[in-house]
Amino acid sequence: MDIQSCVEVRNEWDIVSARQLGRNMAKELGFGNVDQARITTAISELARNIYLYAGRGKICIEPIDQLGRKGLRIVALDNGPGIREIRKVMEDGYTTSGGLGAGLPGVKRLMDEFSIESTVDVGTEISATKWLR
Amino acid sequence: MNLQINQHQINEIHELQLTGEVDAYTAPKLKEVMLPLTEKEGGTVVVDLSGIDYMDSTGLGVFVGALKSSKANNSSLKLRGMTDRVKRIFEITGLTEVMDIESGVKGEAL
Amino acid sequence: MTAKDALTERYQDLLSVYLKAKTETTLYKGQQFSRKLLEQQISPEDLVSLHIQVMDELFPNMSEEMRDSFDFLLEAMIGYGFAYREHQSLRDKQQQLESEIEVAASMQQTLLLSDVPEFDELDIGVVSVPAKKMNGDYYNFVKSGSSLSVAVADIIGKGIPAALCMSMIKYAMDSLPEEQMKPHLLLENLNRVVEQNVNSNMFITMFHGVYEPESHKFFYAGAGHEPGFIYHAKEDQFHDLIAKGLVLGVSRTTTYHPYERVVEVGDMVILLSDGVTECRTSKGFIEREEIVSLIRKYMDLPAQNVVENVFQELDRLQGFELRDDFTLIILKRMV
């Protein structure tokens, strides 16, 4: 199995490639259909954020194994404007970018672990993990 | 009830024509329109209240805020065309003494 | 058996019974089952997945298109799952906020509770009811020396901002030295405090009075507050208790005019907040004359019963939905 695979995100089609990458890996790892759908939705949201706010960036998917506990991690990276108020974007009902409108709090709820780091004018790195049950 | 705000501008004079009610629900909308106008130095804001039949204390607060802002920014704020009910609350609160209020129910445009 | 297995089994039972008999009874059971799903916080996509699992078992030879269509449905349900979870999280947050407000409201009650002092000369009645959880009206009785000091204030707006502002007023009043308890001077002092501490579109209306039992004089001043009434027993008439003055918090240099009235035996001083005269009914606003006639109707009762009866009638006229905080105080000279 690949250690890490990444997809560059520059346009809306790349969102589909990122989803495909995530779905393949989720299937391989043995995630059920609901979790597959949740993982790909999380990927869509993160990729969409890159496309809408940073213009370009990448989505990386990696399998993880911590002391026999298996899971999948999504990492979204961009060198965009960064997020000034992380607390704000993590509030429900804050994002209004259209699309699913679920935003980052939604992604956080779809996944098991979630972390975000952002520096204004430097970029944003979001990582989200789903564990295999 | 709702509040309708019509705006006209002639040179440095902004005129706001209000229709409806100014209460806790509509006051934020009025504030959003009126406050920036009072922040323009040397400008004049004329508010026509002849279409307002109800104003509560939150509505009055918007006018107090606008008055303070116009003093701080050297602009002027004039009110006109108050109905009796609205006039009463400006009188009770003593605001008629500190605000520029044109008497007479309806006046021609300046 | 896990809760999820139990649900799966129950769903399978219900579905297979329904597919055989197609009765309204089973549909009704299905509807009740959905309540159970909600209780257990099963999200929409989980339910679709449950359906797929059960269908797989009931129809192992299901056509591939049918099977795939379920996967597509699952994907399409994810958005609803998003919305469902957001709703849950917002609901939790709302409950948390509500309980915080409860706590704040009961703190406010304790903080601002003003016992009505006992005076041989006076019968005192008071009601103060908030329109929402927090009261934006404030009243305060203080016995200073042999005199009674009484204040009624209405903070612009309602709810939490008004309540916070009111706590400030209370502490400002408590910290004024006694010699400044003359109504017009007290208002001048408070005005400076308020002007410095509130944001620009906030203000406070206030009426302050001092009853001096030796002279039976009522000294008072007003800062833009709704006028009260004075009732003269001798002529059996109500008059407006006008005290002109600008609301607190508008201009730092405002001064207030001192007023005084002689109070005879049987006379009443009536103070109120504008919630009393801004009561709206289906027929329009309640005029001051109507308040007067309500007071007149009950005025032979003890003062506390008068204010309570007046409040109950006004509350009923408004369909038990107060639009504004309501405060009514009556001082009646007995001897």
Q: Which residues contact C43 (CB under 8 A, 6 or more apart)?
A: C80, C81, C84, C85
Fold of B3-102: Transcription Regulator spoIIAA (3.30.750)
Residue in A113, A115, A76, A109 with CA at minimum distance from that of residue A92: A109
H-only helix segments in C125-259? 159-174, 183-197
Query: Closest chain C residue to B85 measured between Cα atoms?
Result: C285
Rounded to 5°, the CA angle A89-A57-A2 comes to 110
User: Is pLDDT larger for residue C70 or for residue B104?
Assistant: C70
Q: Is the pLDDT of residue A112 over 60?
A: yes
Using a CB-CB distance cutoff of 8 angstroms, which residues of chain A are in contact with residue C86? 92-93, 102, 105-106, 109
Contact B95 C278 (CB under 8 A): no
Q: CB-based contacts of A113: which residues, under 8 Å, 6+ apart? A: A127, A128, A129, A131
Q: Specify the pLDDT at position C332.
A: 94
A123-131 and C237-241: which strand pairing?
A: unpaired
Question: Contact at 8 Å (CB) between C226 and C273?
Answer: yes
**What's the pLDDT score for residue C179?**
63
- Rounded to the nearest angstrom, the minimum Cα separation between B64 and chain C is 6
What's the pTM value of the predicted model, to 2 decimals?
0.69
Task: Judge whether C154 is closer than 8 Å to chain B, CB to CB.
Answer: yes
In degrees, rounded to 5, the angle at the alpha carbon of residue C245 between the alpha carbons of residues C244 and C251 is 165
- Kindly report the average pLDDT of chain B as a whole number: 87
- Whether C92 shows a pLDDT value over 80: the answer reads yes
In chain C, residues under CATH classification 1.10.1240.30 are 3-76
Whether C253 has its CB under 8 Å from any CB of chain B: the answer is no
Average pLDDT over residues B84-104: 86
State the average pLDDT over residues B91-100: 91
Task: Give the residue among B88, B99, B34, B27 at the shortest CA–CA distance from B60.
Answer: B27
C49 CB within 8 Å of a chain A CB: yes
- One-letter amino acid identity for C97? L
The tens digit of pLDDT for each residue in B67-82 reads 999 999 999 999 999 9
C243-293: pLDDT as tens digits:
999 999 998 999 999 999 999 999 999 999 876 556 555 555 667 888 899
CATH 3.40.50.11540 assigned to A5-131: no
Residue A6 in this model has a pLDDT that exceeds 90: yes
Q: State the span(s) of chain C assigned CATH 3.60.40.10.
A: 113-333
Determine contact: C78 vs chain A, CB below 8 A: yes
Closest partner residue to A102 among C46, C48, C86, by Cβ?
Answer: C86
End-to-end CA gap in chain B? 29
Interface contact A105-C79, CB threshold 8 A: no
Which residues of chain C lie closer than 8 angstroms to B31, CB-CB? 201
Q: Could you give phi then psi for residue C8, rounded to 5 degrees? A: -60, -45
Q: Rounded to a whole number, what is the distance in Å from the CA of C203 to chain B's nearest CA?
A: 7
Q: Do B97 and C246 touch (CB under 8 A)?
A: yes
CB spacing of C86 vs A34 below 8 angstroms = no
Chain A environment of C85 (Cβ under 8 Å) = 106, 109
Ramachandran quadrant class, C64 (left: phi over 0; alpha: psi -120 to 50; beta: rest)? alpha
Residues A99-122, mean pLDDT to the nearest whole number: 83
Query: Over the range B9-46, which residues count as b (16 or more CB within 10 Å of their CB) and which as e?
Result: eeeeebbbbbeebbbbebbeebbebbbebbeeeebbbb
- Is the pLDDT score of A98 beyond 50? no
Q: Which chains touch B (3 or more CB pairs under 8 A)?
A: C
Considering only CB atoms, C201 lies closest to which of B31, B93, B97, namely B31
Are the Cβ atoms of C156 and B61 closer than 8 angstroms? yes
Could you report the per-residue pLDDT of C297-325, keeping only the tens digit for each? 999 999 999 999 998 988 887 776 666 67
pLDDT of residue C159: 67
Q: What is the pLDDT of residue C323?
A: 66
Angle between helices C64-112 and A33-49 (to 10 degrees): 70
Is CATH 3.40.640.10 correct for C3-76? Answer: no
Contacts of B96 in chain C (CB under 8 A): none
C264 in reach of chain A (CB within 8 A): no
Q: Are C204 and C225 in contact (CB under 8 A)?
A: no
- Cross-chain CB nearest to B61 (options C201, C246, C278): C201
- Which range has the worst mean pLDDT, B27-36, B42-51, C97-106? C97-106
CB C86 within 8 A of CB C44: no
What average pLDDT does range C226-230 have in this prediction? 92
pLDDT of A2 over the 90 cut:
no
Neighbours of chain A (3+ CB pairs under 8 A): C
Contact across the interface for C82 and A38, Cβ inside 8 Å: no
Which of B31, B65, B93 minimises the CB distance to C224? B93
- Taking the Cβ of residue C89 and every Cβ of chain A, the question of whether any pair is shorter than 8 Å is answered with yes
Which one of 3.40.50.720, 3.30.1490.20, 3.60.40.10, 3.30.460.80 gives the CATH number of domain C113-333? Answer: 3.60.40.10
Given a cut of 90, whether residue A58 has pLDDT beyond it is yes
Phi, psi of C248 (to 5 degrees): -70, 140
Question: Which helix (H) or strand (E) is B100 found in, with range?
Answer: strand B100-102
Would you state the pLDDT for residue C276? 57
Residue written as token pair 């208002």 = C187
Cβ–Cβ below 8 Å for B60 and C156: yes
The string of pLDDT tens digits covering residues C171-214 is: 888 887 776 679 999 999 999 988 888 777 788 899 999 999 99
Please report the pLDDT score of residue C44 as a whole number: 92
Across the A:C interface, residue pairs with CB atoms under 8 Å apart total 42
Spatial CA neighbour of C176 closest among C149, C215, C205, C204: C149
Count of helices and strands (H, E) across chain C: 9, 12
**Paired tokens of A98:** 């259209």
CA C266/CA C300 separation, integer angstroms? 10
Q: Residue C322's pLDDT is what?
A: 66
Q: Which distant-in-sequence residues (6+ apart) come within 8 Å of C46 by Cβ?
A: A34, C81
Where exactly are the structural domains of chain B? 3-102
pLDDT above 70 as % of chain B: 93
State mean pLDDT over A103-125: 90
Q: Verify whether the Cβ–Cβ distance A105 to C82 is below 8 Å.
A: no
Chosen for mutation from C50, C86, C87, C96 (greatest number of chain A CBs closer than 10 Å) is C86
Greater model confidence, B32 or C5: B32
Whether A33 has its CB under 8 Å from any CB of chain C: the answer is: yes
* Whether the predicted pLDDT of B108 surpasses 50: no
A109/C45 Cβ within 8 A: no
How far is residue C281's CA from residue C285's CA, in Å, rounded to a whole number?
6
Q: Measure the CA–CA gap between B89 and C274, rounded to whole angstroms.
A: 10
- A1-5, A86-90, B55-59, C83-87: the lowest-pLDDT one: A1-5
* Interval A83-101 mean pLDDT: 65
Q: Does the CA dihedral C109-C110-C111-C114 come out positive or negative? A: positive
C283 to chain A, minimum CA–CA distance in Å? 40
As for the ipTM of the complex, it is: 0.84
Percent of chain A with pLDDT over 70: 89
Q: Do chains A and B touch (3 or more CB pairs under 8 A)?
A: no
Tokens of A43: 């990927």
Percent of the residues in chain A that have a pLDDT greater than 90, as a whole number: 61
